[in-house]
Amino acid sequence: MATTTVAVSPAFDARAAAKIGLLGGLGYVFTSSIGMVEGLGEKNVIDPVLSLGYTILIAIGLWAGHRGAAVGLSADRGSVGGRILAGGMAGVTGGLLASGYLIWINTFVVRDVFTSISPTLIDLLNLQQGLGTGIVVAIGAGAALGMAGAGIGLLAPLMRRALLGSFLWVLIVGFLEVVMSQILRELDLGVVLAFVIVGVAAWILMRNFADRRHVLFGGLLGALVGGVFIARAFSEVNLGLRFIPDFAYVARVGGRALTLPAAAIVFVVAFAITVLFEGRRRALRERITALEPAERQRWAYGLVAAFIGVGVFLPMILGSVLNELLSTTGLFLLMALGLNIVIGYAGLLDLGYVAFFAVGAYTMAILTSTSVRGISLELTFWEALPFVILAAVIAGILVGTPVIGMRGDYLAIVTLGFGEIARILFLSEWFTPVTGGALGVTKIPSIELGFYTVAGTDTQGILYMVLAFVAIAALISWRLYDSRIGRSWMAMREDEQVAETMGVNIVKAKLLAFVMGAILAAVGGALFAVKFGTIFPASFSIIVSITVLVVIIVGGMGSIPGVAVGALVMIGVLGGRNSPGLLREFSEFKLLIYGAILLYMMLKRPEGLLPSKQRSRELHQAEALQDVWLRGEIEEEEEA
Amino acid sequence: MTKKMKFRHLGALVVVLALVAAACGDDDAGTTTTAATGATTAATAAPVAFPPEAGAWGGVLIEAGAPVEIRTMQALADAVAFLGVDQVRGTELAMEDYGDILGHPVNLGTTEDDLCLGEGGAAGATNIAAQEGVLGVIGTTCSGAAYPAIPILNAAGIVLISGSNTNATLTSDFQGNAGENWMDNYLRTAHNDLIQGAAAAIFAYDNLGLRAMGTIHDGDPYTSGLAAQFGVTFTELGGEIVVATSVAKEDTDMVPVLTEVATGEPDGIYFPIFQPAGDFIIQQVGGVAGLENVQMYGADGLITPDHFSIPETAGVYYSGPDLGFDANAGFTGESYSNLVVRYEAAYGELPTAAFHAHTYDATMMLLHSIESVAVEGPNGELWVDRRALRDFLYGLSDFPGVTGTLSCDDFGDCGGNVVSVILNEDPSDPQAGIANVVFRAGKGAGGEVVILPLDG
Amino acid sequence: MSLLKLPQRAGFRFSFVDSFLWAVRIGALVFIVVGIFGTPGIPGGPVGSLAKTLSGEGVSGEAWRGLVVTGLAQGSMYGMIALGYSMVYGVLGFINFAHGEVFMSGALVSFFVADSFGSSGFWDSQPVLALGLTMLVAMTTSTIVAVLTERIAYRPLRGAPRLIPLITSIGMSFFLQYTFRGLFGGGFKAFPQAPEALQGRATIFGVEILKTQLAVIVVAAVSMVVLYQFVSRTRMGRAMRAIAEDREIAALMGVNVNRVISLTFAVGGAMAGIAGVLWALLFRQVYFLTGFLPGIKAFTAAVVGGIGNMAGAYLGGLSLGLVESIGPLLVLDGWGIPAVSQLKDVVAFSALVLVLIYRPTGLLGERLAVEERG
């Protein structure tokens, strides 16, 4: 019945749906040909039914169905059958393309050229059967997934979110096997008690003393200190949750995977929570929007306090793996906050930012190293830190001054050159007596705090140090944003000439941006040197500059929370070039994904994940101002 | 004004919290160690004599039927993958040959990528230390990755045995002085840089009769260390290093660097670097004025079939860890020649470097030591004391391996430290070139280089 | 925050920045002159590379000639890649970072053709035809990659703020690199040795040159001439220049902007494809990162020559190639700095900074669309 309705419906755009299907098919061909499907095929998310490789193919199918239905029947949202059919059609089209590909790789030996099309991949795509099965599955699964994808599009938004969200949770819990096991195994009573006590105290204080800031902050501080003592007192009482990971995960080649029952439980729980708490969530949001400005301000402070509280206790819970990961993320965040000042605030495109990071790391390393090689002044961390900052200031001025008169893109290539110059000089035979050359600097000592020593291998201590410096850097960035110099930067970013006419001292503003950025990066470098206890020139390649740039672009240029989110997503989850992230399974495809994310972000969401208001306004204004006739012409051609 | 006030409050709060935070970090460092022995305490509740009391590093209780956990950490990506992947395979083959330990299977888990850098070593070691019951790690590929990995694993009582770290500071100078990066959980079956550089120089001076050499490294710690040691010994012998220079790994145009070397009018060039830079050097050296009759001399980074099939490599010498393993048999009696056959069958290619053999032996040493110190429980459990495992490994001597007989010294150098020089005569048959050993040398009792006969 | 209190008095801007720049200009000049000629008369001072050569210690005359030829060959390839950067910058006003990957794609794909020619013997029996076909494949691949890149990634961003297409192109660069690695593997692809006809040396004006280097220099020069003729003589070429001059006016005059921009990418791609084969012929090894560093260098060359300026790109490439190959030995070696060859890129990038300090618009001056000049 539905078929006929659709067939006569003038709104049904079969070509558009098929086009989406073809895109999906291309996705299948692409991920298979570059080795993603096979490379991730070994990693099981849910044992034994679902590997990561298949997950990707399934996701592609669902996407094609969903988009195909939306595009194919944009004007006819009401017809359930029509939409499902459109989705199925997109799926089948993709499946046909996939079958063509399957026939090709099954018939010819193409591995001499396309190295990733291996017999294992062919078996995987054929489901270990012959080509016939492969084709039937490609088309059949394409149709089924396409219809399912369209079906998902038909669900109520809440259900859709719950479904996808719960599945995402299963994936996350499956991925985080090492981390989850460690947390649950090591969780002790002390931290949990501390969390509860500080939480309750904070709630009471916020409720009753919100207007009396001294009481509020004093009380919070007291609660935190008390919490720390409680955490210490009960830290040896293990909660005995190790049975959970023992039940949930099973050892397999390529790492441990979630068992089917555990996956089911996670799914059901996540689903239930999403559905049951939907009302609450909505109510909360309404209440927040209804708050008066003054009240909202107060809640914002509460949020900051909560962040600090979490920052204090989280490293005690997370376990060494996450602590290590977060310290690395924090180091990148420090750099990103600095680069955010240079690019995000002042609009100076610096592609050689790693030079300042290297200067900081090397200054710290050379001044403190206890190695017999090279010169050894053997200062302490705190004695060396002022010199690190001084070196950063000098480096900032040295790099900044020659480029003051240069236009944006010249700036990019020149700073990129400076970055390479720095790395090569640190590596060179010429500087070897000071920098250790290729052999680097080793034996960089721990940080002495007087009452405690933070060794580089002490993941928790390092995380506290990094968090402290990140907090300081964030404060500085935040204060600068609204300061006089911050406004000059932004004026300069918008239009240098106008800014100058308005009385902005361009030289001073540019140099200050470079110097501030350099200081933050150099401090990051100093911590980096301590964390690893040894540094090599290879850690300071061009790719670091680009990674930091990616962090602020993805997060949202100019916005401090945005930069933090960017660092968490790109460094913490995905991992930098030289640091494995949470998703180590993807490490082989990390830079491919980097590239894809950059492309996607620039085309679809150039303002970043958490943009600053001002920046996104600018971007959209620019869009609005695009030459109308030029746009018209593009569209014209597309239609032709 | 009010804004400033708030700011000050927040600032003060942050500072205080940082201090507090660090203070409780202090405490927690203490708990981590207790947590490590936590497994022990829990286990003591079991039957009377089992498990025995744990040593200083704690111990691991393996339930009946549960696997013995070991891990690998090697460089898996990009330019050094051929070294790292080769070693993972060495470990896999050794596990296959050794089989179960007292009825417990051995689990290798996920291989960590050491990225050939400190960052990778630290992250990998942290990851491994966070997993329960890991007894030993085979790795790392690069010395640079080992520096931060060693202390992290040391704190967790886990031994690290490398088949390819060669940096001298990781063990000792052979004169009884510990290297500055040595820690007592570290061992290696690879040779020490001191030996290869020195042996290569002796061959150049004595056998080839070269007196003026240029050296080229590529900015890698390994190659620069090797070139430096070569220079030290060559000068001691009476030769002269006329130009010591380097290239960048990404360089393609080698004429400038070769011209620089040519200014010193050397008789030979020692270039212990990797592909592709080494390929470019050998291809372009003929076109540089003054270097027409210079003897080229590479090292193990270039001992690959690809490089040996370049026409210009005819007549070029290469120093490297000894590859003449064919006559040897490993701990289980598996002969090296058969191992290579199985390697090819399993992975579809011949070994890409020599180090799979060193890791094969390293893995055997670890598995054998675990089995030797393991105490069996009444119900099929296994108890392994970490410190006892470490002591047993350090005490190993005359351990039969495919790379020769292994004996560990006080600083964890276990390898035979035999290096050889090979000559590529016919680029159309690279495998024959790789097998064409013209010089062998090893470590004498006092840490000096001794020349070995070619057939032993 | 005493940092914030830099002196505020009038004229500060000129006094500080200008004196700094003058110090750099003079310092660099002194450094170069002393490096070459040394400080005769001052005992213990730098010897100078020229003095070294004359005393027979340093680089011989023949070796200098060799360095010049190598530099020219390398520079020719930089120049050809630089064209793509320069033309795109001239028309659209952003750095297309992915252009290095366009170059790599041609070299990498043409490997498979060259490899099969090499093993079948066709490579040596019909060198011209074989090389021509290989080049055709490389040009086609590079052109397709370049045009697709523009169509998918850059066209939707037309009119967006500058930074956005630039970052898009960085993303594209990664994406292409790792797509090619995924498709064709991460290992080095060894090109067959140059056809026998191109092996050995030829003597030109009394200088012995490797025939491959000669071929590279000649092919590059010929391609440049052909391209120059195309741009100055044909209708499409004129349209291209018109758009570079002022996009809006050109559009009003009836030029199809999109088609011409595609054409710009195609031409840049084709040149990069030729450069890719020349590269493979000279160095015989390509892999998925082959384009990264030459790409950066080529952009440097485009800036050195004067961006948007075609002759400038070629000249910039040649200069950069020469500076890279001669510079370290000519200037740094004279100062007695050890291991100067590893400082090659330091010399190259310093040259970029110096050129921009001396001549902010590059050697031949930039030619940019009206909106970019402002």
How close, in Å, is residue C21 to chain A by CA atoms?
Answer: 7
Mean pLDDT (whole number) for A633-637 = 45
Any CB–CB contact under 8 A between B305 and chain A?
no
Q: Which of these, A340, A398, A249, lies nearest to A558 by C-alpha position?
A: A340
Whether the predicted pLDDT of B121 surpasses 50 = yes
* Cβ-proximal residues to A388 (8 Å cutoff; 6+ apart), any chain: A360, A363, A364, A522, A523, A525, A526
Which strand ranges, in their side-by-side order, compose the sheet holding B59-62? B59-62, B382-385, B375-376
Tell me the per-residue pLDDT of B41-77, one tens digit each, with 9 for 90 and over: 444 444 457 888 888 899 999 988 888 999 999 998 7
Chain C (341-360) residues lying within 8 Å, Cβ to Cβ, of chain A: 342-343, 345-346, 348-350, 352-353, 356-357, 360
CB contact under 8 A, A512 and C183: no
Give Dmax over CA atoms of chain A in angstroms. Answer: 86
Q: Residue B11's pLDDT band (boundaries 50, 70, 90)?
A: very low
C193 contacts on B by Cβ (under 8 Å): 311
Q: A-C interface: how many C-beta pairs under 8 angstroms?
A: 191
B306: tokens are 């690809």
Q: Which of these, B151, B179, B116, lies nearest to A532 by C-alpha position?
A: B151
* Cβ-proximal residues to B152 (8 Å cutoff; 6+ apart), any chain: A457, B122, B125, B126, B129
Nearest CA in chain A to C169: A599
In angstroms, the CA A373 to CA B169 distance is: 11
Which residue of C1, C55, C70, C178 is the best one to mutate when testing the B interface, meaning the one whose CB has the most B CBs within 10 A? Answer: C70
Handedness of CA C152, C156, C159, C160 (dihedral sign): negative
Report angle CA B292, B294, B297 to the nearest 5 degrees: 135
Q: Residue B31's pLDDT band (boundaries 50, 70, 90)?
A: very low
Any CB–CB contact under 8 A between C300 and chain A?
yes
- For residue B125, give Cα distances in angstroms to A118, A572, B142, B163, B261: 32, 17, 14, 17, 41
How close, in Å, is residue C322 to chain A by CA atoms?
Answer: 18
B83 contacts on C by Cβ (under 8 Å): none
The answer to whether the beta carbons of residues B133 and B69 sit under 8 Å apart is yes
Any CB–CB contact under 8 A between A414 and chain C?
yes
Which of A421, A595, A622 has its CB closest to that of C350? A421
CB contact under 8 A, A321 and B13: no
CB contact under 8 A, B311 and C57: no
The answer to whether the beta carbons of residues B217 and B224 sit under 8 Å apart is yes
Half-sphere exposure of A121 (CA within 13 A, CB side): 26
CB contact under 8 A, A228 and B23: yes
Identify the residue with better confidence: B386 or B327. B386
DSSP letters spanning A340-378:
IIIIIIT----S-THHHHHHHHHHHHHHH---SSS----
Mean pLDDT (whole number) for A401-422 = 86
Which residue of C164, C170, C177, C333 is the best one to mutate when testing the A interface, meaning the one whose CB has the most A CBs within 10 A? Answer: C170
Q: A-B interface: how many C-beta pairs under 8 angstroms?
A: 192
Determine how β-strand B268-271 pairs with β-strand B212-217. Answer: parallel
Any CB–CB contact under 8 A between B346 and chain A?
no
Tell me the per-residue pLDDT of A72-125, one tens digit each, with 9 for 90 and over: 775 555 577 788 888 888 899 999 999 999 999 888 888 888 888 888 888 888
The backbone torsions φ and ψ at residue B108, rounded to the nearest 5 degrees and listed phi first, read -95, -15
A546 contacts on C by Cβ (under 8 Å): 170
CB contact under 8 A, A420 and C345: yes
Identify the residue with better confidence: C193 or B356. B356
B276 contacts on C by Cβ (under 8 Å): 188, 285, 287
Q: Residue A6's pLDDT band (boundaries 50, 70, 90)?
A: very low
Any CB–CB contact under 8 A between C42 and chain A?
no
How close, in Å, is residue B180 to chain A by CA atoms?
Answer: 7
The answer to whether the beta carbons of residues B164 and B358 sit under 8 Å apart is yes
The neighbouring-strand residues paired with B321 are: B419
Residue corresponding to tokens 């070299």: C107
Any CB–CB contact under 8 A between B55 and chain A?
no
Neighboring chains of A (3 or more beta-carbon pairs < 8 A): B, C
Which residue of C86, C181, C256, C262 is the best one to mutate when testing the A interface, meaning the one whose CB has the most A CBs within 10 A? Answer: C181
How close, in Å, is residue A246 to chain C by CA atoms?
Answer: 37
Handedness of CA A622, A623, A629, A633 (dihedral sign): positive
pLDDT at A11: 61
Whether the predicted pLDDT of A264 surpasses 50 = yes
Q: Residue B20's pLDDT band (boundaries 50, 70, 90)?
A: very low
How close, in Å, is residue B168 to chain A by CA atoms?
Answer: 12
Tell me the per-residue pLDDT of B284-304, one tens digit each, with 9 for 90 and over: 998 888 888 899 999 988 888
Tell me the per-residue pLDDT of B132-168, one tens digit each, with 9 for 90 and over: 889 999 989 998 899 999 999 999 999 999 999 988 8
How close, in Å, is residue C17 to chain B by CA atoms?
Answer: 34
Half-sphere exposure of A240 (CA within 13 A, CB side): 2
SS3 A83: helix
CB contact under 8 A, A634 and C170: no
Cβ atoms within 10 Å, residue A498: 11
The backbone torsions φ and ψ at residue A115, rounded to the nearest 5 degrees and listed phi first, read -65, -25
Nearest CA in chain C to A36: C182
Beta strands in A15-68 (DSSP E): 44-47, 50-51
C63 contacts on B by Cβ (under 8 Å): 259, 262-263, 288-290
Nearest CA in chain C to B291: C63
How close, in Å, is residue B327 to chain A by CA atoms?
Answer: 34
| Runs of H (alpha helix) within B58-139 | 81-98, 118-129
CA torsion angle A334 A340 A341 A343 (round to 10): 140
Whether the predicted pLDDT of C290 surpasses 80 = yes
B236: tokens are 């001691």
Instruction: Tell me the one-letter amino acid at B384.
Output: V
Mean pLDDT (whole number) for A173-202 = 86
CB contact under 8 A, B259 and C63: yes
Tell me the per-residue pLDDT of A113-157, one tens digit each, with 9 for 90 and over: 888 888 888 888 888 888 888 899 889 998 999 889 888 888 888
In angstroms, the CA B12 to CA B307 distance is: 62
Whether the predicted pLDDT of B222 surpasses 60 = yes
How close, in Å, is residue B263 to chain C by CA atoms?
Answer: 5
CB contact under 8 A, A538 and B225: no
B27 contacts on A by Cβ (under 8 Å): 232, 235
A53 contacts on C by Cβ (under 8 Å): none
In angstroms, the CA A393 to CA A385 distance is: 12
The answer for C250, left when phi > 0, alpha when psi is -120 to 50, beta otherwise, is alpha
Which of A113, A416, A627 has its CB closest to that of C159? A627
Which of A136-140, A204-208, C289-293 has the least mean pLDDT?
A: A204-208
Q: Which of these, A239, A213, A215, A86, lies nearest to A148 by C-alpha position?
A: A86
pLDDT at B25: 43
B274: tokens are 């990797």
Under DSSP, the state recorded for A1 is -
Whether the predicted pLDDT of B19 surpasses 50 = no
pTM (2 decimals)?
0.88
Q: Residue A522's pLDDT band (boundaries 50, 70, 90)?
A: very high
Tell me the per-residue pLDDT of C198-246, one tens digit each, with 9 for 90 and over: 888 888 777 778 888 999 999 999 999 998 888 888 888 888 888 877 7
B9 contacts on A by Cβ (under 8 Å): 213, 217
What is the value of ipTM here, to two decimals? Answer: 0.90
pLDDT at A620: 61
pLDDT at A618: 63
DSSP letters spanning C231-277:
HHHSHHHHHHHHHHH-HHHHHHTT--HHHHHHHHHHHHHHHHHHHHH
Which of C159, C300, C343 has its CB closest to that of A424? C343
> Kind and range of the H or E element at A454?
strand A453-454
Give Dmax over CA atoms of chain B in angstroms. Answer: 86
Any CB–CB contact under 8 A between A434 and chain C?
no
- For residue C104, give Cα distances in angstroms to C120, C134, C136, C183: 25, 14, 15, 14
Tell me the per-residue pLDDT of C104-130, one tens digit each, with 9 for 90 and over: 999 999 999 998 898 888 888 888 898
Which of B275, B283, B290 has its CB closest to that of C284? B283
